[in-house]
Structure 1
Amino acid sequence: MDPSQDALDYHSREPPGKVEISTTKPTSTQRDLSLAYSPGVAAPCREIAEHVEDVYKYTTKGNLVGVISDGSAVLGLGDIGPAASKPVMEGKGVLFKRFADVDVFDIELDADPDAFIEHVEAMEPTFGGINLEDIKAPECFEIERTLRDRMDIPVFHDDQHGTAIISGAALLNAADIAGKALEDLSVTFAGAGAAATATARFYVSLGVQRENITMCDIDGIITESRADDGSLDPYTREFAQDVPAGDLADAMADADVFVGLSVGGIVSPDMLRSMADNPIVFAMANPDPEIGYEEAKQARDDTVIMATGRSDYPNQVNNVLGFPFIFRGALDVRANEINEEMKIAAAEALADLAREDVPDAVVKAYGDQPLQFGSEYIIPKPLDPRVLFEVAPAVAEAAVESGASDESLDRAAYVEELEARLGKSREMMRVVLNKAKSDPKRVILSEGKHEKMIRAAYQLVDQGIADPVLLGNRTSIERTIDDLGLSFSPEIIDPLDCDLEPYAERLYELRKRKGITRTEATELVRDEAYLGSVMVELGEADAMLTGLTNHYPSALRPPLQVVGTAPDAEYVAGVYMLTFKNRVVFCADATVNQDPDAEVLAGVARQTANLAREFNVDPRVALLSYSDFGSVDNHGTRKPRRAAEMLREDETVDFPVDGEMQADTAVIEDMLTDTYEFSDLDEPANILVFPNLEAGNIGYKLLQRLGGAEAIGPMLVGMDKPVHVLQRGDEVKDIVNLAGVAVADAQEE
């Protein structure tokens, strides 16, 4: 299909465009509407009239950015006018919302620079910040400077500063990899427009010497003689050098760094070969770089550290790594500007993040290509969710420290607020992970030679969540740690290189009347799952994770045989926590019991309620069926009905429970309270106990896939000691999350 037609169809599909306004408060009743508008709206109006700062309390101003353009320099299309620029401005709004939960009004102005400035200045009461976009040079410099002087909210021209910040982060890491100091770098620029000038200025802020920057435009090297003849604008003139006239080829000779912000194909292999050893090449013209990636790599025998503006090559310099998170940090501390300190903080945070282990989800999003700090990975990928948690706090902190904000900042608490913005699952997991960090426990990771287990162990140590013990071949584990570039020394237990006699003896004692001989016990403890289970049972470890490479029933068998169920539980169950935008639901049992009776269902409900409390959730339990409170009477409906009765009769049960009931009755408040006002649940259930394994597995998967829920689990409840069985193919974050749950379990023990 023609890509242009595909894009046109995408934008014209009903409703046209890419953004809409949605409400954040209920509007379903007359009372709701009277609060949203007249007469209720008068109350906040009066408060704001008396205390203008309350506009941040009662309106969206604190999370609203104006993306504003005159359409004079749109992408590579040039001066196409304000109306034609609107798809780009809408797209910018999509990125703000998608990556940092910042709301946007896009505004396209048909105005000369003076009128443009007046219009934008007049909109200060509306917005928490202004993102200027696609305004031609040199007018963009004066527009931004004037608005920054006149307005008390952040004003940021992304075309200038976005590329500067992202490529600045890349430069920090590239210089380190090349073994060169910033102050010694010789830098050549191809291009002298808004982005190039702002980038050169920013490099100076990072530590590059101004006298070491050579800038070229279409007429060649920008020299002092050209500055003297009046042919340069004042913004370019500051980079004029006292050197002979020459072209780009002359400027690139012996340069350490080439920065291309011009047009494609202007750099030849010979020009690249003339540069210094291990050159840094940022060829950022789009869609065609100043020199192609393959061409640049083949031009030299040493290391060429290459970045482009394209997503199909390593090290994409993409402004989306900057502006959403910079504004997020600035808005959240009500900064009055985005200053140089805040921009430097953003670049340094991005550079630091590129040195960290990359989440599996990011690797998968980019075709499972290896992503590890080095010449092919010097800046994070745009889809890396961690950028929000690193850049926004760094910017906010810099705003406070530099005086751009009068607010105070608790960085740890702020990170938790940001996590809550990205979804309820992060907020819920933060509760458990914080508990785990308060008293880390020793957690066995069977299948310890697996790369995911090793990476999870690194994160557990790095974040202070647990003290991991990797079970597996020592040589293989240490080699993988070295290959991954992880700087940590975890505890490793190699079943082939340790005294297994005590563990074999204990396993024999536990299972000798269950059909296991002494010889079989000796063989079984060589299996990591059995060895880990015995270590947990003996108290040599506090918890264990297993199952990453095995079928769930096979992985569950060793801990069930060795650790067994808790004294108050005869059965175990697998629970998924499903998180929606404003709701959390625990689904049980989804992995273990095929056809439980009423007693098992009641036990599963008790254990799941205990788990919910670990997440600071007050449990409300519904026993599910296809009937409501006796509307159908048969063997299937009697099981959940009897389980609910057993729980209500148990004086130790201190949570509301009811059933049998249909799933929609359990979760829809109007159905529950209006139709069945006699129910013991006065609020929708947050624990759904399914009548059998088939229903539980189907139910949670439908909720996850069609309901848009995020799933955490399965978490194993009912074990005598904390053991959790992973699903085959789980990601590193899943392992880390379950390890956090296991540590919290162990703390309760």
Structure 2
Amino acid sequence: MGLHDDSLDYHESDPPGKIEIATTKSTSTQRDLSLAYSPGVAAPCGEIAETPEDAYRYTAKGNLVAVVSDGSAVLGLGDIGPVASKPVMEGKGVLFKRFADIDVFDIELDASSTEAFVGHVAAMEPTFGGVNLEDIAAPDCFTIEERLREQMDVPVFHDDQHGTAIISGAALINAAQIAGKDLGDLNVTFAGAGAAATATARFFVSLGVSTENITMCDIDGILTSDRAAQGELHQYNREFARDRTPGDLADAMDSSDVFVGLSAGGIVDEAMVRSMAENPIIFAMANPDPEIDYHAAKNAREDTVIMATGRSDYPNQVNNVLGFPFIFRGALDVRATEINEAMKVAAAERLAELAREDVPDAVVKAYGEQPLQFGPEYIIPKPLDPRILFELAPAVANAAVESGAARRELDLSQYVEHLEARLGKSREMMRVVFNKAQRDPKRVVFAEGTDVKIIRAAYQLIDQEIADPVLIGDREQITQTISELGLSFSPDILDPAEMELDTYAETLYERRKRNGITRRDAAERITDGNYLGSVLVERGEADAMLTGLTHQYPAALRPPLQIIGTDDDADYAAGVYMLTFKNRVVFCADTTVNQDPSAEVLAEVTRHTAALARRFNVEPRAALLSYSDFGSVRTAGAAKPRRAAERLRENPTVDFPVDGEMQADTAVVEEMLTGTYEFSDLDEPANVLVFPNLEAGNIAYKLLQRLGGAEAIGPMLVGMDKPVHVLQRGDEVKDIVNMASVAVVDAQEK
């Protein structure tokens, strides 16, 4: 089957279409229904009638956008009418929800005139927090947007105009920097004089391009003053008519620094590219076929051609999804009355800045493991970059406040946390740890300091002021990697080949001399990053340690266990995973260390896991798990967690609820726990789950992660005398940053 048939099957499969309505409150009881509708709904109605602004408090208005079209200019399809455009508008709703958690009603209007279109949309203002106009033909789209912005007190945004303008504007900022040219000196040629081209030209002027340096062409050639005087141009592109000799696109492109194509495929040839100025910038954005093929443009000349298209299979895709979800997110959250020029410029500038920063591993993997580093082949971020939400939305929100378009202000630091929570519970939980770590960063030593991921994580830790990383490894190799990655930072590097290691070897010898280690052995082993890092932490020259990225877990854990050892009140270390679901978080122990723990070990692991939960501001409720519920099976296996729970309840220092033995579903399903076992010491579902052995713990957390859709953070090592965490081979940079942050908070508490 081809793409055509696949797409039809995709849209037709039950339920048809791509969107649905879902409730956000419980509707499982009669009381729920009486609150959701009659008679309870009368209360918020009365409040809103008295204070209309309270609609943002009691309804979904503040997170609801109308995507409105008449289907008169659908990309690549033309004037197909309102009904045929509905799949496109539903798709727009999918993107709003996927990238910025904004709900959408798609509205396709069969309006008889511009006036009727405007009247219909304006009348819907009480329903929506914003309006996204889509696929409306020029010049009517200009008139419709202008009138709606005048009449409505919520943001109105025609994405075909401004979305393309903002994303290509961000690309222009970075392309000009790479080409070594100032925006004010650029000579820019446009192919196309419709809505997108006109709006983009205007926006380039807002960024600093001189109006006099813009030449615009339509199908009949260059827009000139003579053509404007003869009435050939409409009022919206007339401002770019030039007092110059008539000519075609080839004439306009001669000596230009920038070509912007928003017209038709195949209208530019290699000779036209060769006629451009040094290091030309070419944005060929016609879809599906650009004005000139990517490879043809790059091969047309020997200097640097900085190329962008509208296609995802070439570098530098100018994709509107980089803009509109996040622009609306920021506008909605400050209840803006409009999306003004200051907000659009702020979005473009922050998007350009983001492209100059290190790219997360998840984004690189999503795009085929190809290197993504600021330069001619990477001048704008990729759409799947999760950072865009909590970078662009705050920039837009702040610009709205500063420009007077906002009806409420936000604490930007708290706002970022709010946005991160929209991307998943794990981000919300990690933000708690990041905030704690940033209050008092600690010195974290990385045993595998030459690894690229470790170096990138170190950069982020310094940039975010989370930790002071110390990299163990060959200095020359580390500095060369930093240079190749284009990172601007100078971490603390400890190169064993440069160090006087006798003191550290002596510490290792003293710790292990009665365990088969001679002085010669110690002198040899101390050059290993795991041993040197462990000794640094033990001597207090570092506060915490991370290792394991390039080692098997047991091999990485062995040196810190031998040198640092367990805490004074612990005889065993244990590995804990934090699993986050949409509205719940659980801590699973032990998942990595103790194969067949006794009741005493289970009790100890429970205490340390509860302490870990509190570092995430989670009050622990612990369940000792088994295949038995409170004595329903009398076996040695079931007795072990039962005895562990008894030991914990008898311990006067245990200040959290704990019970067991119990089955896993009893522990986490409230109806089962409180309805059947009302005697349990847990009056709410457990959030600390302690498994009876390593096999059960490891199997369970992986099943929850893969089949239950949980996000996993860990394994976090508990019970150590000083903070040590062992990474998993294959961990991404964000995982390393997360674990280092946990280590910093561990060190703060110790």
Q: Name the TM tier (shorter chain).
A: over 0.9
**CA distance in 2 between partners of 1:62 and 1:270 (Å):** 52
Q: Is the 8 A contact 2:162 2:200 kept in 1?
A: yes
**CA distance in 1 between partners of 2:395 and 2:522 (Å):** 54
**CA distance in 2 between partners of 1:330 and 1:488 (Å):** 35
**CA distance in 2 between partners of 1:715 and 1:522 (Å):** 30
Q: In the alignment, which residue of structure 1 is the partner of 2:572? A: 571
Matches within 5 A, 1:334-483: 334-483=335-484
**CA distance in 1 between partners of 2:680 and 2:553 (Å):** 37
Q: Is the 8 A contact 2:178 2:375 kept in 1?
A: yes
Q: In the alignment, which residue of structure 1 is the partner of 2:581? A: 580
Q: In the alignment, which residue of structure 1 is the partner of 2:526? A: 525
Q: Helix, strand or coil for the counterpart of 1:152?
A: coil
Matches within 5 A, 1:76-225: 76-111=76-111, 112-225=113-226
**Percent of aligned pairs with the same residue?**
78
Amino acid at match of 2:87: P
Deviation of residue 409 (structure 1)? 2.4
Q: In the alignment, which residue of structure 1 is the partner of 2:36? A: 36
Amino acid at match of 1:88: V
Q: In the alignment, which residue of structure 2 is the partner of 1:642? A: 643
Amino acid at match of 2:149: R
**CA distance in 2 between partners of 1:231 and 1:191 (Å):** 14
Q: Helix, strand or coil for the counterpart of 2:579?
A: strand
**CA distance in 2 between partners of 1:639 and 1:363 (Å):** 46
Q: Helix, strand or coil for the counterpart of 1:505?
A: helix
Matches within 5 A, 1:614-629: 614-629=615-630
Q: In the alignment, which residue of structure 2 is the partner of 1:722? A: 723
Q: Deviations over 1:14-53 (max 9, x none)?
A: 0000000111000111111111111111110011111111
Amino acid at match of 2:366: A
Deviation of residue 189 (structure 1)? 0.3
**CA distance in 2 between partners of 1:309 and 1:534 (Å):** 54
Q: Helix, strand or coil for the counterpart of 1:238?
A: helix
Q: Is the 8 A contact 2:609 2:688 kept in 1?
A: yes
Q: In the alignment, which residue of structure 2 is the partner of 1:485? A: 486
Deviation of residue 411 (structure 1)? 1.1
Q: In the alignment, which residue of structure 1 is the partner of 2:328? A: 327
**CA distance in 1 between partners of 2:127 and 2:626 (Å):** 51
Q: Helix, strand or coil for the counterpart of 1:418?
A: helix
Q: Is the 8 A contact 2:475 2:493 kept in 1?
A: yes
**CA distance in 2 between partners of 1:95 and 1:705 (Å):** 25
Q: In the alignment, which residue of structure 1 is the partner of 2:56? A: 56
Q: In the alignment, which residue of structure 2 is the partner of 1:20? A: 20
**CA distance in 1 between partners of 2:699 and 2:410 (Å):** 44
**CA distance in 2 between partners of 1:38 and 1:691 (Å):** 49
Q: Helix, strand or coil for the counterpart of 1:632?
A: coil
**CA distance in 2 between partners of 1:39 and 1:271 (Å):** 71
Q: Deviations over 1:383-442 (max 9, x none)?
A: 000001111000000000000013222211111110111111111101111100000000
Q: In the alignment, which residue of structure 2 is the partner of 1:653? A: 654
**CA distance in 1 between partners of 2:316 and 2:185 (Å):** 23
Deviation of residue 236 (structure 1)? 1.2
**CA distance in 2 between partners of 1:81 and 1:70 (Å):** 6
Unaligned runs of 5+ in 1: none
Amino acid at match of 1:5: D
Which portions of structure 1, spanning 4 or more consecutive aligned residues, are displaced by more than 3 angstroms?
A: none
**CA distance in 2 between partners of 1:154 and 1:663 (Å):** 49
Q: Helix, strand or coil for the counterpart of 2:283?
A: strand
**CA distance in 2 between partners of 1:36 and 1:7 (Å):** 37
Deviation of residue 495 (structure 1)? 1.1
Q: Helix, strand or coil for the counterpart of 2:23?
A: coil
Q: Helix, strand or coil for the counterpart of 2:444?
A: strand
**CA distance in 2 between partners of 1:86 and 1:113 (Å):** 20
Amino acid at match of 2:15: P
Deviation of residue 114 (structure 1)? 1.1
Q: Helix, strand or coil for the counterpart of 1:574?
A: strand
Q: Helix, strand or coil for the counterpart of 1:497?
A: coil
Q: In the alignment, which residue of structure 1 is the partner of 2:227? A: 226
Deviation of residue 582 (structure 1)? 0.8
Q: In the alignment, which residue of structure 2 is the partner of 1:67? A: 67
Amino acid at match of 1:627: S
**CA distance in 2 between partners of 1:567 and 1:345 (Å):** 53
Q: Helix, strand or coil for the counterpart of 2:247?
A: coil
Q: In the alignment, which residue of structure 2 is the partner of 1:294? A: 295
TM-score by length of 1: 1.00
Q: Is the 8 A contact 2:337 2:407 kept in 1?
A: no
**CA distance in 2 between partners of 1:13 and 1:431 (Å):** 41
**CA distance in 1 between partners of 2:328 and 2:343 (Å):** 10
Matches within 5 A, 1:684-703: 684-703=685-704
Q: Helix, strand or coil for the counterpart of 2:510?
A: helix
Q: Helix, strand or coil for the counterpart of 2:88?
A: helix
Q: Helix, strand or coil for the counterpart of 1:496?
A: coil
**CA distance in 2 between partners of 1:162 and 1:679 (Å):** 57
Amino acid at match of 2:614: R
**CA distance in 1 between partners of 2:563 and 2:244 (Å):** 79
**CA distance in 2 between partners of 1:333 and 1:719 (Å):** 46
Q: Helix, strand or coil for the counterpart of 1:127?
A: coil
Q: Is 2:8 the counterpart of 1:8? A: yes
Q: Is the 8 A contact 2:613 2:619 kept in 1?
A: yes
**CA distance in 2 between partners of 1:381 and 1:96 (Å):** 16
Q: Is 2:266 the counterpart of 1:265? A: yes
Amino acid at match of 2:433: V
Q: Deviations over 1:91-139 (max 9, x none)?
A: 0000000000000000000002111100000000000000000000000
Deviation of residue 679 (structure 1)? 0.3
**CA distance in 2 between partners of 1:312 and 1:77 (Å):** 21
**CA distance in 1 between partners of 2:223 and 2:671 (Å):** 72
Matches within 5 A, 1:667-682: 667-682=668-683
Unaligned runs of 5+ in 2: none
Q: Helix, strand or coil for the counterpart of 1:715?
A: strand
**CA distance in 1 between partners of 2:410 and 2:4 (Å):** 46
Q: In the alignment, which residue of structure 2 is the partner of 1:499? A: 500
Q: Deviations over 1:428-464 (max 9, x none)?
A: 1011111000000000011100000000000000000
**CA distance in 2 between partners of 1:21 and 1:586 (Å):** 33
Amino acid at match of 1:35: L
TM-score by length of 2: 1.00
Amino acid at match of 2:102: V
**CA distance in 2 between partners of 1:684 and 1:407 (Å):** 38
Q: Deviations over 1:45-97 (max 9, x none)?
A: 01111111110000000000000000101111011010000000000000000
**CA distance in 1 between partners of 2:218 and 2:23 (Å):** 49
RMSD of equivalent CA atoms: 0.5
**CA distance in 2 between partners of 1:113 and 1:556 (Å):** 70
Q: Deviations over 1:622-643 (max 9, x none)?
A: 0000110010111110110110
Q: Deviations over 1:459-500 (max 9, x none)?
A: 000000000000000000000000001110000001122111
Q: Helix, strand or coil for the counterpart of 2:653?
A: coil
Q: Helix, strand or coil for the counterpart of 1:235?
A: coil
